[in-house]
A and B are shown apart, each in its own frame.
Chain A
Amino acid sequence: MAEKKEILKLSGINKCFGNVVVAKDISLTVISNQLHALIGPNGAGKTTLIKMISGELKPDQGVVMLLDRKVNHLSEIARVHRGCIRSFQVSSIIGSMTVFENILLAVKQKRSILKMLFRKFQSNSSESSFVYQTLNQLSLETLETKVASTLSHGDKRKLELAMALAMGPKILLLDEPFAGLDQAESSKLIELLKSIKKNMPIFLIEHDMQAVFALADKISVLNEGEIIESGSVEKIRRSKLVQNAYLGGDL
């Protein structure tokens, strides 16, 4: 059996905005090939936590470890270069470009400014095949030449995920990828994430319980900035604490 490696580790994360505590002594771990879901009511501090992991916000206290290295001091961009790739609550794509070009941007992102200036924005054969491979993986191959702003909501979600995958992430941070998707689109995305998580650790923030229970290997429940329960799907389902604090009834 493959060794379980800690990809992301948070220890004692605290964060306040003025008098409001948004993260209280949060500790959690995401190991390789695991989908760790974080659930919690609106305003629990989920997105703030993902921002602290990605580097957009700095924690007041605590340590963020990525691949066994402390990354508190690193900027958001430096963390991206270390493989910490994030998707947003609202689909974040370049609407005026085609689907292919959006993914090509993600493929070409590691170039220096000088190299960027002296190279045309076109794919070589290995980049092309990589982009097509990503398009196929996300079932976007028929939309290759479509301008991204004209895509359906579900396809925009898939495109954003395709861009994240094209960057070769070490860990994926997904912020409510199921938001606004209909039943059919949700089912497709669940299947897709099931296949992705076999090879990649994912930290998922989500409200859609059906998706969380279908996908998660581990769930942490955040309430008022504090993790009140953490464990397997069954443990969370049975937890009276979670039911009372968050769901107000049976899961």
Chain B
Amino acid sequence: MLTEKKFNLIIVLGIFAFSLIGYVMNEPYFITLATKIVILGIAGCALNLILGFGGMVSFGHAMFFGVGSYVAAISAFHSMNGESIDLIFFDFNGSSQMLFNWFLAVIFSMFFALIVGSISIRTSGVYFIMITLAFAQMTYYFSLGWTKYGGEDGLSTYVRNDLFSINTMLPLNFFIICFACLCVVGFILNWVINSNFGNFLKGCKENEEKMISLGLNPYTLKLTAFVISGAITGLAGALYVDLNRFVSPTSLSWQTSGELIVLVILGGSARLFGPLLGAIVFILLEQFLGEVTENWQFWLGVILVLIVLYFPKGVSGLFIKD
């Protein structure tokens, strides 16, 4: 059994090694898989902040993922075709700069999380699940009808955005960019979880009444966590657009929200990088089971049931000692 720190290190280095193997073997597909794992892992870890540590089961996190994706994609799209967006006070010409598009994605996702969270967090349990789902479905149906940006066909950006003078079209370079984002996100989440705030959040999950009797407002604590989580999920969405050079309403759908929850449950909630392991298991199952059978999701369901029944701490619980 490992300490959580060692586990985190092994998982992160493992993903890095996997992509290097892909590079050495000249198998860019391996690198793309590793990149996808990293991006979904970032989104899963962000969801885990509120689900695993805050006890809020958001079934609408695809909204923040999708908002981040669409914002980054729209910015890149306008930069590419030279058409500006009239924003009343100024014309926005879009941007092909990754950093700027990430920034936009994070700001918009934060804003959405603030609005959705400020309403949803007034509820709890199944009502919280349903209200977050309802908000996400609203944005999903909006995107379906948003024909200016592709509607249900989605929006292509064709080329990856730029970051300094790095050739982002090379799979390994883009993987390293995403990997660096994962490290930064991991550092931020680790900080939050181990801060006073993180411990009061855990207290909220376990005994909200006690937090009130300690003079703390659980609503503020949970909303702050929700906004942080939404912002990081938005960043993951922006990275996903750069990976695929395409965004579609699927990124806002309830299936995507469900997949993010699956990552958390598979990997293990209330562990910093549990969902990252969840992403590894999920993507590998998708690849290898997908080669064996078309109905790979059926078997994923079976595995998920077994994990919930026999390993409530997720796959990471098999490796980490309490």
Could you list which residues of chain A lie within 8 angstroms of chain B, going by C-beta atoms?
Answer: 54, 76-77, 80-81, 85-86, 88, 92-97, 101, 105-106, 108-111, 113, 115-121, 163, 167
Please, could you name 6 A-B residue pairs with CB atoms under 8 Å apart, sorted by A?
A: A80-B214, A80-B215, A92-B207, A93-B210, A94-B206, A96-B206
B199 touches A88 (CB 8 A): no
Q: Does B10 have its Cβ within 8 Å of any Cβ on chain A? A: no
Q: How far is the CB of A105 from chain B (nearest CB, A)?
A: 6
With A94-B202, A94-B203, A121-B196 already in contact, the answer to whether A109 and B209 are too (CB < 8 A) is: no
A111 surroundings in chain B (CB, below 8 A) = 196
Contact string against A for B residues 119-162, beta-carbon threshold 8 Å, 1 for contact and 0 otherwise: 00000000000000000000000000000000000000000000
Contact string against A for B residues 267-311, beta-carbon threshold 8 Å, 1 for contact and 0 otherwise: 000000000000000000000000000000000000000000000
Q: How far is the CB of B200 from chain A (nearest CB, A)?
A: 6
Excluding A93-B210, A96-B202, 16 further A-B contacts by CB distance (< 8 Å) are A76-B213, A81-B215, A88-B209, A92-B207, A93-B207, A94-B202, A94-B203, A94-B206, A95-B207, A97-B199, A101-B199, A109-B200, A109-B216, A117-B197, A121-B196, A167-B215
A80 surroundings in chain B (CB, below 8 A) = 212-215
With A92-B213, A113-B220 already in contact, the answer to whether A105 and B207 are too (CB < 8 A) is: no
Question: Considering the complex of A and B, which 7 residue pairs feature the smallest CB-CB distances, nearest first?
Answer: A80-B215, A116-B197, A116-B196, A121-B199, A109-B214, A117-B197, A92-B210
Interface size on B, residues (CB 8 A): 23
Q: Does B195 have its Cβ within 8 Å of any Cβ on chain A? A: yes
Q: Does B224 have its Cβ within 8 Å of any Cβ on chain A? A: yes
Could you list which residues of chain B lie within 8 angstroms of chain A, going by C-beta atoms?
Answer: 192, 194-200, 202-203, 206-207, 209-210, 212-217, 220-221, 224
With A88-B213, A167-B214 already in contact, the answer to whether A113 and B199 are too (CB < 8 A) is: no
B216 surroundings in chain A (CB, below 8 A) = 77, 109
B213 and chain A: residue at smallest CB distance: A86
B198 surroundings in chain A (CB, below 8 A) = 121
B214 touches A119 (CB 8 A): no
A interface: dominant SS:
mixed
Q: How far is the CB of B321 from chain A (nearest CB, A)?
A: 15
B215 surroundings in chain A (CB, below 8 A) = 77, 80-81, 109-110, 167
B207 touches A94 (CB 8 A): yes
Please, how many angstroms separate the alpha-carbon atoms of A95 and B213 in the complex? 16
Q: How far is the CB of A205 from chain B (nearest CB, A)?
A: 15
Q: How far is the CB of A215 from chain B (nearest CB, A)?
A: 22
A117 surroundings in chain B (CB, below 8 A) = 192, 195-197, 224
B221 and chain A: residue at smallest CB distance: A113
B209 surroundings in chain A (CB, below 8 A) = 88, 92
User: Of A85, A92, A97, A108, which contacts B196 at CB under 8 A?
Assistant: A108
A94 touches B196 (CB 8 A): no
A86, A97, A109, A163 — most chain B CB neighbours (10 Å): A109
Please, how many angstroms separate the alpha-carbon atoms of A163 and B214 in the complex? 9
B212 touches A120 (CB 8 A): no
B217 touches A118 (CB 8 A): no
With A119-B196, A120-B194, A120-B195 already in contact, the answer to whether A106 and B221 are too (CB < 8 A) is: no
Please, how many angstroms separate the alpha-carbon atoms of A73 and B200 in the complex? 26
B207 touches A118 (CB 8 A): no
B194 surroundings in chain A (CB, below 8 A) = 120-121
User: Of B192, B210, B221, which contacts A94 at CB under 8 A?
Assistant: B210
Q: How far is the CB of A186 from chain B (nearest CB, A)?
A: 23
B195 surroundings in chain A (CB, below 8 A) = 116-121
A54 surroundings in chain B (CB, below 8 A) = 213
A120 surroundings in chain B (CB, below 8 A) = 194-196
B194, B199, B224 — most chain A CB neighbours (10 Å): B199
Q: How far is the CB of A44 from chain B (nearest CB, A)?
A: 22
Q: How far is the CB of A160 from chain B (nearest CB, A)?
A: 9
